Structure 1
Amino acid sequence: MPATVMTGTRSRPNAVLTIILASYLMIVLDIAITITALPVIHTSLGFSDTTLSWVQNAYTLAFGGLLLLGARSGDILGRGRMFILGVGLFTFASLAVGLAPSAMWLVGARGLQGVGAAILAPSTLALLTANFPEGTERTRAVAYYGAVAGVGASLGLVLGGVLTTWLSWRVAFFINVPIGIAMMLAAQHYLVESELRPGRFDLTGAISSTVGMTALVYGIVNSATAGWGDPITVTALAASALLLAFFVFNEWRAEQPIMPLRLFASRERTGAYAARILFLGAMLGFWFFITQFLQGVYHFSPLEAGLAFFPMTVANFVVAVVVPQLTKRFGNGRLLAGGLLVTLIGMFWLSRLTADTSYVTGIALPMVLIGIGQGASLGPLTASGIAGATKEDAGAASGLVNVAHQLGGSLGLGILVTVFAAAGSAALAAPELLAVRVAASLTAGTLMLGLAFVIIIMLIVLPGVVPGNPNPQEGHT
C-alpha cells in the first residue's frame, strides 16, 4: 500500500523534525518534573511514604511493559496514526494528573500517561528514521533527538522546581495540554503516513513481552524499597526471566515477530543497546541522588536544587548541537567513546563528594564534564541503536532503543538504591550519612559507565578499525 500524506500536504523536513523533537521533549520533561514535584505531591494528596513511589512506578511499568507492542503497532497500523494516538493519550492523561483529587486518581492517570508514552516514544524515533535517510541529515536529526533526551532531563528539574515553588505542581502537568494539542494538529498537516505493512500481531510475543517486561520492571522497582531478597521481588524477577526466555524462543520461530532477532546481528546496535542500559542507569542515579544531596545536605529548596543543575544543562546543550560536526570529524563510534569517557571522569570526580564539599568545585565543575559527555554520547548512542535497520525494522529498532532507555533507568536505580541503603554507619549525623551514601551510589554509577565504555570500545570502535573489514559493524555476531 503506497504511503500517503495525512492531509495531502507534502512533508517538510524541518517541520517534521520540530514535531518529533517537541513530542519527545514533552515525555522527557514530564519524567524530570515529576521527580522534582514528588515531595509536594506527597503532602498535597496525602500519599504515604510507601505509596508515593507509585507516582513514578505506575508510569514506568506501563511505559516499559508496552514499548515493544507500541513499536510493532506503528509498523502495522501506521506510525503517523500511532504518533497522534500516543500524543492524544499522553495529553489527556496529563490533564487528568493535573486535576487529580486523590492519590488513587493520580496513580491511575500516571499509568495512562505511561501507555501514551509507550506508543509515542517509538513512533517519534521510527518517524525520524523514515523521514531522514542515513547520512548527514539523519546524523543531524538524531543529534538533536539525543540533545532532547539529555537537556530535557536537566531542564525538567529546573522547570519542575520553578513551577512547584512559584505556582503549583499541577501546572507542571497542565503545560502538556496545549503542547500536545498543537503537536496533534501539526502532525496531521506535516507528517507523511508510513507505508502500511499488512500482517497480524504476534499475539504470543506481545503478551509474553509485555507481561515479562512489566514483571521485570516491577521486580526492579520493588527491590528499591523491599530489597533484592524480598519474596515478591524474587518471584517477579523469576517470572520475568521465564517469560522473556519464552518470548525470545517465540520470536525465533514467529513469521512476523514483534522483535526481530536479526536486529541483534549487528555488533553496533547490540553494543548500543547494552551501553544505553548502563549509561541511563548511571545517569538516572546521578539525577536522583544529587537532587537528594542538594536538598538534604545543602538544604536547597526545590527551585534552588533545580537551578543547581544549570551548569550541566548549558554544557549538554552546547555540545549536543555540534554533534553533527563532531561526528563528521571523528566518526560516530569514536565520538561516542569520547563522550562516555568524559562522562566517566565527571562521575568519578562527583563521587568523591562529602558533606563539606564546595558546590563549585565538587558539584558544578564535575557536572559540566557530565553535561559535555552526555551531550556527546546520547545522539551517537541513538544513531548506533538504529544503524543499518531497514524500513521494515525501523519501528522495532526504535522500540529497542526506548526499551534500553527505560529498562536502564529502572534497573540502574534499583541497583544504586541498594548500594545507597548498604553504605555508611547509623552513628553518623544525617547530612554526613546522606553524603556517604550518595558518594557510594555515584561510585557504583561510575563503574556502570566504565563498563559501558568498554562495551563501546570492544563492539563498535575496535571492529571499526580492523584492516580489510569493509563493514565490520553490520551483520556480524
Structure 2
Amino acid sequence: MYTNPGAAVTTAGSTTAQRSGLVLVAAAAAQFLVAFDMSVINVALPDIQRSLHFTDADLSWVVNAYALAFGGLLLLGGRLCDVAGTRRVLVTGLIVFGVVSVAGTFAPTAGLLVTARALQGVGAAMIAPAGLAALSQAFPDGAARAKAFGIGAMCSALGGAIGVVLSGVLTQGLNWRWIMFAGAPVALAAAVAAVRGLPAHQAGGGRLDLPGALFATGGLVVLVCAVIATDTRGWGSPAVLGGGALTVVLLAAFVVVEKRTPDPLVRFSTLLRPRIGLANAIMCVVCAGQFGGFYFVSLYMQRGLGYSPSTTGLAFLPFCAGLVVGIVGSSKLLPRFGARPLLVVGTALAALGMAVFSTMSVGGGFVWTVLVPSLVASVGIGLSFMPLSNVATADAPPGDVGMASGLLSASRQIGGSVGLAALVSIAATVTANSHAPADLALVSGYSRALMVCALLLLAGTVLSLFFPSTVQPTPRPA
C-alpha cells in the first residue's frame, strides 16, 4: 500500500503549529492577567471599603497583599519552571488564580478578601515567569519569536491599561465584585490551552534551592513591606530604615548561598550576561516610570479635570491604542534592526510623553493635556517593552530560561512598586509644601512626580545606548 510521506510531514507540521498557537494563547493570557490584576482594583477601592467595612488603615491591604505575595515569590516561581517543568507551574498557577478569583468574588468579610488577594499574588508569581518561559521554549528564534513576544508584550501592556478602563466601567456600571471575577474565565481558558499545547514531561531535574528561596523571598517581601510603610511613615522613619537594612542582610545572605550551591535559584553567570543584565536594569526603570505615569494621570483626570471613574477609564483608550501601535511596530522592526535602536527610540519617546504630562494644570484641556502625551508615551513604551521581554530570555541556557523569566518579572514588579512608592512620597511632599489653593497644590505634586517619571525613562534611554547589538551583520558575497 502506498503511503504519501509528504502528507505525514504536512500533518506533523500542522500539529506543531497548532501546539505553538496554544502555547501562545496560554502565555499571552498569563501576561495579560498579571498586569490586569495589578491595575484593576484601584478605582474600586472606595466601593470595596463601603461594602466590607474596611477601615482606612486596612484598605491598603487589598492592594498590598497581592503585591507582597507576587513580588516575594517571583524568583521562586521562575526557578520552579526549570525544576518542575513550565507546563506544571503555568497550569497550577492559572488554576490557583482562577479559583481564588471566583472565591474572592463572594468574599463576605474584609479578611477573606485580603486572603483571596494574597493567593491571587501566589498564582501570579507562578504564571508570570512561566508564561515568558513557555514563549521562549516554543519560539526559540527568528521572526516567529519576535512576533510571539510582541503578542505577549501587547497583552501584558494592554492588561495594565485595560485594567484601568474596566475598573471604572465595572465599578460604576455593575459592582466591584465583577472586578474580582473578571480574570477567572481567562485564567481557566488559558489553563486548558497550556495543557493541550505544552509537552507533558518537561521537568529539567535538579533540586530546588530552598535556602536560597527562603532568603530571596524574605528579602523581597521585607523590601516590599518597607516600601508599603512609606504610605504612612516617612522614608527616614525607623520602620522603613530598619526594613531597608534587613533587606540588605537577607539579600547578601542570598548571594552567599547562591555562590555555594550547585543548583542555585539564580545563576549569576547567566544574570551577568550583558543582554540579560541590561534588559533587567532597563525594565526596572521603565516600569517605575510607567506605573507612576498610570497612577498620577488617572488621579489627575479625576481630581484635576473632574472626570468620573468610567470617563477616566475610557480616557485611557488612546493609551491602549498607542501601545498596540508601538508593540506591532517593534515586532516587525526587531528582526531587522535589533533591540538597541528600538529601546533607545522607545524610552526616549516615553520620556517625552511623560515630560509633556508634567505640564498639566487644573482644568486643562483633554487634547493637549491627556491625548497627545498619552499617544507619545504609549507608542514609546510599546516600542521598548517587547524587545526587553524577548532578549532577556534569548541568551539564557535551556536550563535557566525559567530563572531568566522570573528575574525579568521580578525586575518589573520591584521597579514598579519601589518607584511608585518613591513618586507618591515626592508628590505628597511637593503638595504639603505648596502655599497654593488645595487643587493647585495637588496637581503641582502630580506634575513633579511625572517629571521624575520622565527622568526615570530617560535613564532607560541612557542604559539602552550601551545595549549590545542583536543583529548579525549580513555576510558579503565572495
Instruction: State the TM-score bracket (shorter-chain normalisation).
Output: over 0.9
Q: String of CA shifts for 1:399-424, please: whole Å, max 9, x gaps.
A: 00100010011110111011111103
> Structure 1: how far apart are the matches of 2:210 and 2:437?
54
Q: Kindly report which structure 2 residues correspond to 1:242-391, keeping only aligned pairs within 5 A, or say none.
A: 242-391=249-398
- Which residue of structure 1 lines up, in the alignment, with residue 9 of structure 2? none
Aligned to 2:153: 146
CA distance in 1, matches of 2:275, 2:30: 27
**What's the counterpart of residue 473 of structure 1?**
none
User: What TM-score comes out, normalization by structure 1 length?
Assistant: 0.92
Q: How far 1:456 sits from its partner (Å)?
A: 1.3
Q: 1:240/1:142 Cα in 2 relative to 1: closer, same or farther (>3 Å)?
A: same
Equivalent residue in structure 2 for 1:73, among 65, 80, 88: 80
Quick one: which amino acid aligns to residue 453 of structure 2? G
- The farther-off stretch of 217-226 and 121-130 is 217-226
Residue 238 (1) aligns with residue 237 (2): no
Conserved 8 A contact 1:204-1:250: yes
- Of the three residues 374, 393, 401, the one matched with 2:400 is 393
State whether structure 2 residue 456 is matched by structure 1 residue 441: no
The alpha carbon displacement at 1:165 in A equals 1.0
The residue type equivalent to 1:440 in the other structure is R
**Paired residues of 1:271 and 1:460 also in contact (CA < 8 A):** no
Aligned counterpart for 2:37 among listed residues 30, 34, 51: 30
Contact 1:224/1:415 (8 A) holds in 2: no
CA distance in 1, matches of 2:467, 2:41: 36
Matches within 5 A, 1:52-201: 52-193=59-200, 195-201=202-208
Q: TM-score, normalised by structure 2?
A: 0.92
Following TM superposition, by how much is the alpha carbon of 1:179 offset from its aligned partner in structure 2, in angstroms?
A: 2.2
Task: State the distance in 2 between where 1:52 and 1:74 align.
Answer: 34
Find out whether 1:453 has 2:468 as its counterpart: no
Q: Deviations over 1:198-239 (max 9, x none)?
A: 221111101000101101111112123312112221111111
Kept in 2: contact 1:79–1:194 (CA 8 A): no
Which string of whole-angstrom CA distances, capped at 9 and with x for unpartnered residues, describes residues 136-186 of structure 1?
A: 111111111111121221111111111111111111221222222222222
What SS does structure 1 have at the residue aligned with 2:108? coil
Q: How much does 1:466 deviate?
A: 13
RMSD: 1.8
Query: By how many angstroms is 1:465 displaced?
Result: 9.7
Query: SS at 1:257's partner residue?
Result: coil
CA distance in 2, matches of 1:452, 1:188: 37
Q: Give 1:454 shift.
A: 0.7
Alpha-carbon distance in structure 1 between the residues aligned to 2:98 and 2:417: 24
1:42 offset after TM fit, Å?
A: 2.3
Count of aligned pairs: 457
Cα distance in 2 for partners of 1:158, 1:97 equals 21
Partner of residue 224, structure 2 = 217
Q: Structure 1 residues 321, 193: CA separation in 2 closer, same or farther (over 3 Å shift)? A: farther
Relative to structure 1, is the Cα distance of residues 201 and 310 closer, same or farther in structure 2, using a 3 angstrom cutoff? same
2:12: which partner in 1? none
User: How many angstroms does 1:194 deviate by?
Assistant: 5.6
- 8 Å contact kept, 1:224–1:413: no
**Conservation of the 8 A alpha-carbon contact between 2:223 and 2:247:** yes
* CA drift at 1:347: 0.7
Distance 1:89 1:375 in 2: 30
Is the 1:79–1:193 Cα contact (8 Å) retained in structure 2?
A: no
Q: Secondary structure at the match of 1:460?
A: coil
Work out which of the residue numbers 4, 7, 20 in structure 2 matches 1:13: 20
CA distance in 1, matches of 2:443, 2:366: 13
Q: Secondary structure at the match of 1:51?
A: helix
What is the Cα deviation at residue 390 of structure 1? Answer: 1.4
Return 108-117 or 97-106, whichever deviates more. Answer: 97-106
Partner letter of residue 183 of structure 1? A
2:422 is matched with which residue? 415
| Matches of 1:33 and 1:27, distance apart in 2 | 10
- Residues 19 and 183, structure 1, Cα contact 8 Å, conserved in 2: yes
Q: For residues 280 and 355 of structure 1, what CA distance do their matches in structure 2 show?
A: 27
How much has 1:265 moved relative to structure 2? Answer: 2.6
Are the aligned partners of 1:149 and 1:378 in contact in 2 as well (CA < 8 Å)?
Answer: no
SS of aligned partner of 2:306:
coil
Structure 2 CA distance, aligned partners of 1:268 and 1:225?
38
Change (3 A) 1:466 1:440: farther
- The Cα of 1:103 is off from its aligned counterpart by 1.4
Q: Deviations over 1:301-335 (max 9, x none)?
A: 11011111111111111221232211133221111
1:459–1:24 CA distance, 2 compared to 1 (3 A): closer
Structure 1 residue 357, shift from structure 2 partner: 2.3
The alpha-carbon distance between structure 1 residues 349 and 250, as it changes in their structure 2 partners (threshold 3 A), is same
Give me the whole-angstrom Cα distance separating, in 2, the residues matched to 1:280 and 1:240.
21
Letter in 2 for 1:455: L
Structure 1 letter corresponding to 2:341 = R
Which amino acid letter does the alignment assign opposite residue 323 of structure 2? N
Per-residue Cα deviation, 1:65-110 (whole angstroms, up to 9, x for no partner): 0111111112111110111110011112211221111211111110
Residue 5 of structure 1: aligned partner: none
- AA aligned to 1:447 is L
Q: Could you say if the C-alpha distance between residues 194 and 433 of structure 1 is closer, same or farther in structure 2, counting changes exceeding 3 Å? A: farther
CA drift at 1:430: 2.3
CA displacement at 1:426 relative to structure 2: 4.9
Q: Match for 2:63: what amino acid?
A: Q
Mapped contact 1:17–1:141 kept (Cα < 8 A): yes
CA distance in 2 between partners of 1:143 and 1:227 (Å): 40
Work out the CA distance in 1 between the residues paired with 2:201 and 2:219. 29
CA distances 1:329-349 after superposition (whole Å, capped 9, x unpaired): 322111111111110111111
C-alpha contact 2:41 2:167 (8 A) present in aligned 1: yes
